[in-house]
Amino acid sequence: MVDNKVKEGENILIYASKGKNWLVKATHGAKVHTHLGYIELSEVIGKEYGEVFETNLGAKMAVLRPYLIDYVMKSSRTTQIVYPKDVGLIILETGLSPGATVIEAGTGSGALTTALANFVRPDGHVFTYEMRPEFIEVAEKNLKRSSLRDFVTIKNKDASMGFDEKDVDIAVIDVGDPWRLASPAYNALKGGGAIAAILPTVNQAEKLAIELHKLGFINVHTVELLLRNIEVREGMSRPSTRMIAHTAYLMFARKTILKS
Amino acid sequence: MVDNKVKEGENILIYASKGKNWLVKATHGAKVHTHLGYIELSEVIGKEYGEVFETNLGAKMAVLRPYLIDYVMKSSRTTQIVYPKDVGLIILETGLSPGATVIEAGTGSGALTTALANFVRPDGHVFTYEMRPEFIEVAEKNLKRSSLRDFVTIKNKDASMGFDEKDVDIAVIDVGDPWRLASPAYNALKGGGAIAAILPTVNQAEKLAIELHKLGFINVHTVELLLRNIEVREGMSRPSTRMIAHTAYLMFARKTILKS
Amino acid sequence: MVDNKVKEGENILIYASKGKNWLVKATHGAKVHTHLGYIELSEVIGKEYGEVFETNLGAKMAVLRPYLIDYVMKSSRTTQIVYPKDVGLIILETGLSPGATVIEAGTGSGALTTALANFVRPDGHVFTYEMRPEFIEVAEKNLKRSSLRDFVTIKNKDASMGFDEKDVDIAVIDVGDPWRLASPAYNALKGGGAIAAILPTVNQAEKLAIELHKLGFINVHTVELLLRNIEVREGMSRPSTRMIAHTAYLMFARKTILKS
Amino acid sequence: MVDNKVKEGENILIYASKGKNWLVKATHGAKVHTHLGYIELSEVIGKEYGEVFETNLGAKMAVLRPYLIDYVMKSSRTTQIVYPKDVGLIILETGLSPGATVIEAGTGSGALTTALANFVRPDGHVFTYEMRPEFIEVAEKNLKRSSLRDFVTIKNKDASMGFDEKDVDIAVIDVGDPWRLASPAYNALKGGGAIAAILPTVNQAEKLAIELHKLGFINVHTVELLLRNIEVREGMSRPSTRMIAHTAYLMFARKTILKS
């Protein structure tokens, strides 16, 4: 069995508390400076994952293996990221599974791309389209950090002119004018393939739904997910006072084909 | 490239509308009887996935490849199932990925087990514990139908007496007395490993949180997800009148270890 | 001090349980038949409000003074009623107080009218407009039952052609084409007066907001209220499984005037 | 008819935008300084309510008659205020109406007291209990500003030792240990009277529910209200990104009496 120890070069999560944790590369000689003191990464290398240690000021921290969710939430952001609650449902509703071929319009900072890539491993692939070179640069960086770069092809192209791929399993749309992507997605999808769209406004949802129905997509349905944090404490449990009330509507549908 | 046609013996989803669709095995000679007429499955075999066809009464339907979500939602149920919104977040929050070893207390009808199995493929495994033989029987059936049976070991044992496995990546708790599973899960998890619990009541959440903190779990946090269906129709869009308002609270945490 | 006893002719609420309660007039000789036995109303007359008594089959019930909310929820309905959660906020946001003059477009079954009338007492008045005579008939009946008929004038007229009243404090809009009422409401309101609209769809909200901004209304804001029932039980508290997820969006604004 | 003009000594709301508005007393010689310039209140006196005017820097503002909701939201706060969404439902669920006698435990900064007082006018009364003199001082100030002071008696007493009043219509509980108020409230209420409690945590709700059931209250039910702001803009409508996710649970019940 492989041991569970921190190796030089691995990404690690130094965890002090919910809002105070850092995703860094375990590098000999490097230090992480925090408001609670600094950490010599040389001393973290060789520790067991989960182990609790102290900063030079005696503050307790633990070293954790970062999860996909950490990469997603700590992406360098040039655009609004897709939240884990939404990523999770997109995975389920599109039938995303190991081996799938996925196209994505709107790479943005690559947060959703990273999640898609994670779950098509080891033999699937994500082709993602982005028109703005400065976004691609950020997405590249985020994908490399999560070691999922090999599962993704990034194209600096306007997907509304058509995707290069054919017979793909899943199309994911995360652009401002999603209705312009409906027909290109239809053409790229295989029969029965799934489309998912991330839609901040109701109006985008209306326009996309009209196009999807026209093209013969079925099971067109739209949801929104509200995530509420609950403060669970003995004898004084209650929902948190504030929450993110809206990220985006999610629309899902599946392609049908008519044989003459 | 593999073709995209329905083969004898495959599970298929016959889709008429959101509430009217059937998950069946494509078998020569079998018929599916619906309120809209019947379908000769022999005629569906060989069609392309996504293809639209007609029942003997001329009603239009499409044949789709079932997704994990269809298996989950159409599980034979002896217990409350875990909803896709919750499954998706559990996957993200626990870092579930291909290759993971997962333990689960409370197989129930196996809906969540099915989802976990799907995402540990091809080289991970789920060990699930269930005390009631009649639940195991149903779970067996559900797992077989989704072709994920090979990735799961079902044990008719009380997990609160201890899991057999060691150094597992993830522990999932879906039983009525989750606080009794905290210590067994701690012992089975590897350093930094994740625990997730499905908790219908606030009181279960309080009791489990107390145990998790005692044991040295960190990043103990609790959420609930509300899924709202949106009726998107040109010029008359609105949330649906009714919704499922509560399934369960979800609690997540990660194991730390203290070296002397 | 006035006694607290049930008098002949008063409306009373016979309360068995949350879903089982009846709003009736206390009449000598009348009986209320329930699945738990019948009640002789002669025997209820003279009881103290709040008193527990038994049906002929020994089932325990209590006699309560009905509240406005009971009249609202037990209105004869020809149309969707306005829910108490929404009524309450409309009262607060429009500054509804004793003495106010209110106009309402869309009487429907009079549920909201009843609430408005209750809170303008003793010296305010509600003028309500309804085009369909069959709705007026129902509204009449509901208003009479709650003894608030004297505070309301019902007009069988199209309010989009203009309200007869001038310098009113509050305008309430509950019709399918609310944007057509914006200008008539502006003309009828006094400077600084409040408008409130009940809007099932986002599209109605958009169209009305455009008109309100054009006319110079300020503080135009839109909300929705979600009411969640909580099942509070010792050691097993949780939100109810199902809820009404959407009734209507509520839009509020105040009239400004420009002096040349 | 009374004119609709600003008089010396009236409270007025100077409204620039949703987040920028000021509740002041119209006083000759006084100035209101804002980030958009200053306003000479002498120039506002005599204007019509709703009228738009300019600051010395030319910024447009309107003068509005303040509503109860403005007094509530702009209360000097020493404690968490009760939000309008919750106030509105409390009014409806307790049958609060002109003429009612109300007792309140936990005056706090008097925001809810103000609302209760507004709706018992002209011939009802609110008796409110508060143990901390520094809260009473703030509540006094808030009540005076809204001109509702005459409808309220403030007592610097521990209501859990018993209310002085008998046969009251409504009891409102807004303290940290609400279960200690159940019995005193029962004793003070008349038969069929209503109790309402504001409960930040689930645990408070559980403890209070147990007491209410013991005492013979019926229709004990608990809700929470979520208020979501909707950004309604032509072609780009969506819920606001953030919201207040929890203020308090609201519990309601009615007193029954057993005659021997």
For chain C, give the secondary structure using H, E and C: CCCCECCCCCEEEEEEECCEEEEEECCCCCEEEEECEEEEHHHHCCCECCEEEECCCCCEEEEECCCHHHHHHCCCCCCCCCCHHHHHHHHHHCCCCCCCEEEEECCCCCHHHHHHHHHHCCCCEEEEECCCHHHHHHHHHHHHHCCCHHHEEEECCCHHHCCCCCCEEEEEECCCCHHHHHHHHHHHEEEEEEEEEEECCHHHHHHHHHHHHHHCCEEEEEEEEEEEEEECCCCCCEECCEEECCCCEEEEEECCECCC
Cβ of B223 within 8 Å of Cβ of A232? The answer is: no
**Percent of chain D predicted with pLDDT > 70:** 99
pLDDT at B1 (0 to 100): 52
From chain B, the residues in CB contact with A195 under 8 A are none
d(CA B184, CA B161): 7
Model confidence over C158-209: pLDDT tens digits? Answer: 999 999 999 999 999 999 999 999 999 999 999 999 999 999 999 999 999 9
Tokens of C70: 């009971």
Q: Mind listing the pLDDT tens digit of every residue in chain D (260 residues)? A: 568 999 999 999 999 998 899 999 999 999 999 999 999 999 999 999 999 999 999 999 999 999 999 998 888 777 788 999 999 999 999 999 999 999 999 999 999 999 999 999 989 999 999 999 999 999 999 999 999 999 999 999 999 999 999 999 999 999 999 999 999 999 999 999 999 999 999 999 999 999 999 999 999 999 999 999 999 999 999 999 999 999 999 999 999 998 86
Tokens of C173: 């809009």
Token pair 């135009």 in the structure block, residue: C220
Among chain D residues, CA nearest to C235: D206
Task: Compute the CA torsion angle C211, C213, C218, C219 (nearest 10 deg).
Answer: 80
B201 closest CB neighbour out of C202, C236, C242 = C236
Among chain B residues, CA nearest to A240: B223
Cβ of A92 within 8 Å of Cβ of B84? The answer is: yes
Residues of chain A with CATH 3.40.50.150: 70-255
B227 closest CB neighbour out of A72, A84, A223 = A223
B256 closest CB neighbour out of A52, A97, A209 = A52
ipTM beyond cut 0.85? yes
Neighbouring chains of C at 3+ CB pairs under 8 Å are B, D
* Average pLDDT value over all residues in chain B: 95
Architecture of domain A70-255: 3-Layer(aba) Sandwich (3.40)
Cα distances (angstroms) measured from residue A23 to each of A8, A27, A76, A81:
14, 12, 12, 17
d(CA B219, CA A21): 10
Cβ of D246 within 8 Å of Cβ of A241? The answer is: yes
Contact between A105 and A126 under an 8 Å Cβ cutoff? The reply is no
D230 closest CB neighbour out of C69, C92, C224 = C224
In chain C (260 residues long), the average pLDDT of successive 10-residue segments reads 88 94 96 95 97 96 95 82 94 95 96 95 95 95 94 98 98 98 98 98 98 97 98 97 96 93
- Partners of residue C152 on adjacent β-strands: C126
CA-nearest of C95, C143, C150, C145 to C122 is C150
Contact between D232 and C213 under an 8 Å Cβ cutoff? The reply is no
Neighbouring chains of D at 3+ CB pairs under 8 Å are A, C
d(CA A101, CA A123): 9
D202 closest CB neighbour out of A237, A244, A246 = A237
**Amino acid, single-letter form, for residue D123:** D
Residues of chain D with CATH 3.40.50.150: 70-254
**DSSP character string of B175-227:** SS-GGGGHHHHHHHEEEEEEEEEEESSHHHHHHHHHHHHHHTEEEEEEEEEEE
D205 closest CB neighbour out of C72, C237, C249 = C237
Model confidence over D54-93: pLDDT tens digits? Answer: 999 999 999 999 999 999 888 877 778 899 999 999 999 9
CA-nearest of A129, A75, A80 to A102 is A129
Among chain C residues, CA nearest to D69: C92
From chain D, the residues in CB contact with C218 under 8 A are 15, 62
From chain C, the residues in CB contact with D121 under 8 A are 97-98
Fold of C70-254: Rossmann fold (3.40.50)
From chain D, the residues in CB contact with C50 under 8 A are 190-193, 254-257
Closest-CA distance of chain C to residue B131, Å: 23
Count of CB pairs separated by less than 8 Å, B with C: 57
* Average pLDDT value over all residues in chain C: 95
Tokens of A249: 């509507």
Contact between B192 and A12 under an 8 Å Cβ cutoff? The reply is no
Cβ of A244 within 8 Å of Cβ of D242? The answer is: yes
**Amino acid, single-letter form, for residue A1:** M
For range B146-170, the mean pLDDT: 97
From chain B, the residues in CB contact with C224 under 8 A are 239
Cβ of B203 within 8 Å of Cβ of C237? The answer is: yes
pLDDT at C1 (0 to 100): 52
d(CA B106, CA B135): 9
- Partners of residue B193 on adjacent β-strands: none
By the 10 Å C-beta count (0-12 exposed, 13-18 middle, 19+ buried), C39 is classed as buried
Neighbouring chains of A at 3+ CB pairs under 8 Å are B, D
A18 closest CB neighbour out of B62, B95, B221 = B221
From chain B, the residues in CB contact with C243 under 8 A are 242-243, 245
CA-nearest of B153, B108, B110 to B131 is B108
Cβ of D241 within 8 Å of Cβ of A241? The answer is: no
Task: Compute the CA torsion angle C124, C129, C134, C138 (nearest 10 deg).
Answer: -20
Cβ of B192 within 8 Å of Cβ of A50? The answer is: yes
From chain D, the residues in CB contact with C229 under 8 A are 221-223
Closest-CA distance of chain B to residue A4, Å: 7
pLDDT at C77 (0 to 100): 75
Q: Which CATH class is domain A11-66?
A: alpha beta
Model confidence over A224-248: pLDDT tens digits? Answer: 999 999 999 999 999 999 999 999 9
Bin A228: left if φ > 0, else alpha if -120 < ψ < 50, else beta. beta
Among chain A residues, CA nearest to B94: A67
B228 closest CB neighbour out of A115, A224, A227 = A224
From chain D, the residues in CB contact with A246 under 8 A are 228, 238-241
d(CA B246, CA A228): 12
From chain B, the residues in CB contact with A192 under 8 A are 4, 49-50, 62-65
Cβ of B203 within 8 Å of Cβ of C235? The answer is: yes
Residues of chain D with CATH 3.10.330.20: 11-66
Give Cα A98 distance to the centre of its chain.
16
Contact between B255 and B189 under an 8 Å Cβ cutoff? The reply is yes
CA-nearest of D179, D198, D190, D182 to D116 is D198
Cβ of A243 within 8 Å of Cβ of D242? The answer is: yes
- CB proximity list for C80: less than 8 A, separation 6 or greater: C108, C200, C247
Q: At what angle do helices B84-93 and B111-120 cross, to 10 degrees?
A: 40
Q: From chain C, which residues contact B within 8 Å (Cβ)?
A: 200-203, 224, 228-229, 235-247
Closest-CA distance of chain A to residue B138, Å: 22
Tokens of A241: 């006072």
Q: Which helix (H) or strand (E) holds B84?
A: helix B84-93
Among chain D residues, CA nearest to A246: D241
Of the pLDDT bands very low, low, confident and very high (cuts 50, 70, 90), residue B28 is very high
- Partners of residue B13 on adjacent β-strands: B23, B64
From chain C, the residues in CB contact with B239 under 8 A are 224, 245-246
Bin B21: left if φ > 0, else alpha if -120 < ψ < 50, else beta. beta
CA-nearest of A104, A102, A136, A140 to A119 is A102
D245 closest CB neighbour out of A202, A235, A241 = A241
pLDDT at D80 (0 to 100): 80
d(CA B249, CA B205): 8
Q: Say how many CA atoms lie within 13 Å of D240 toward its Cβ.
A: 14
Among chain D residues, CA nearest to C166: D1
From chain D, the residues in CB contact with C87 under 8 A are 88, 92
From chain B, the residues in CB contact with C228 under 8 A are 245-246
From chain A, the residues in CB contact with B225 under 8 A are 85, 225-228
d(CA A151, CA D181): 63
pLDDT at A101 (0 to 100): 98
Cβ of C65 within 8 Å of Cβ of D91? The answer is: no
Cβ of A205 within 8 Å of Cβ of B232? The answer is: yes
pLDDT at A1 (0 to 100): 52
Helices of type H across chain A: 41-44, 68-73, 84-93, 111-120, 133-145, 182-188, 202-215
Radius of gyration (Cα) for chain C, nearest Å?
21
A232 closest CB neighbour out of B64, B222, B231 = B222
Bin D54: left if φ > 0, else alpha if -120 < ψ < 50, else beta. beta
Count of CB pairs separated by less than 8 Å, A with D: 57
Cα distances (angstroms) measured from residue C165 to each of A140, A152, C102, C162:
65, 67, 9, 9
Q: Point out the least confidently predicted range of A128-132, A143-147, D167-171.
A: A143-147
**Percent of chain A predicted with pLDDT > 90:** 92
d(CA B204, CA B217): 17
d(CA B202, CA C119): 38
d(CA A103, CA A153): 10
- A89: helix, coil or strand? helix
Tokens of B159: 């997990």
From chain C, the residues in CB contact with D124 under 8 A are none
Task: Compute the CA torsion angle D70, D76, D80, D82 (nearest 10 deg).
Answer: -30
